[in-house]
Structure 1
Amino acid sequence: MKKNMLHAAPVIALALAALTACNGSDGKNDGSSKTEKAASPTQSAPDKDRYLTAGQSVTGKVKEDDDAVTYDVAAQKIEVGTEADTKKMVQDPEQAEGMVPATAYLKFTHKAGPALTGTSDAADPTRVFADGRRGALVIGAPEDGPGCEDPLDIEGWKSGESHVLCETYLVPKGAKALEVQWAEKEDGGTPHIWKFDAAGK
């Protein structure tokens, strides 16, 4: 495992604090645009044809290195953890009370464009929502857990190759409806949305 969970703790704490401010409970803002982005509860309204079920694929382009690469993208599942898992991720468990990790598994198939010479950015636009609100991104969470591939280990990703990349967010425990959202553009693009039940299926 190349990344230490504890390195993510301060970032998680800031993201959760910003979520609280967004809901109007303390009104504080540290001025960090990255924190504000992580806390944004909504995204562009999707078209009806952008709602998908587990395993359905869409095609989109991602700027990789200096060129655009076309991928088929399919959200396969969401794995929901426990509050005990959350406590292992954060330095101050009180800041994440009632939150559990939700890891989205997305399969990316390189369809067109040059082979990659660096680390892929394909999973960067991924978001996880719970009951209509965006979760808090766990920056620094291990990306090479069971069934996930660490982008740092993928070399020369070329046309025809598929890899499963994962993103982890903190969401409220007991959420009834989960969504994985992915857009061609990380900011402002209309997302494709995969819907999952509380079990992530």
Structure 2
Amino acid sequence: MNIFVKSLKQIGCFMINLDNLRSTIESQNRRYWSGLTIWLRTSLKKDIVTIQNFLDRAYTTIDQPPLCVEDINESHFNHRLLSEETFEVSKLINEVDTKNQLLRTWTKETVPDVPHIMSLWDNFQIVMSNFHIVVSRQEESLKDRLSSTAEEMITEMERFVLRWNELKPNEDKLTEIQITDRYIADSLELVNNTRQQWEIILQKISKLRVFSIRLQ
């Protein structure tokens, strides 16, 4: 009888059964923590998939080293985009760490994939730093190659001038009355061929100038 009385609480003219109230509160409390735990696990798994997808895409970009001027520009652009995305994903990494700690505090359990994704993220940070260094070194290498190509172009132009001075038609002979049709035809062919060679040289110089501007 005493036990029954202790489980009752009079509020005004009403008698409240505390056992039923306590049982209801405990049941609601268990449901709340159970639901929160399920949400944490689900949220963590979703975040891990998002991070893994980003890392897969990022490594696909990083694993393509620049080989030419166009690649250098694209690599700089990709590095800038990845840096911006990395900043955003790093926030998600912090959220994952916080959620995992909460889950461990409440349930003494963790999501097994969390340590793995954290390790992958740490490695990615190192790779990103190295990627910037690799692109910079490759850029310097391309600059050296362009400098070497420029020297080769100067040599080619000098040879072109020497060859033209040696083979060009004699202006005095072209004005002679006795000039033959054969000589005129050969001279015209030489001029046309020389013009084509000069245009090729100019195209090379133009490309070299464009590449140099892009690397500035």
TM-score range, shorter chain: under 0.3
| Bigger fraction of residues in helix | 2
TM-score w.r.t. length of structure 2: 0.18
Q: What's the TM-score, normalizing by structure 1?
A: 0.19
Larger RCO, structure (CA 8 Å, separation 6 or more): 1
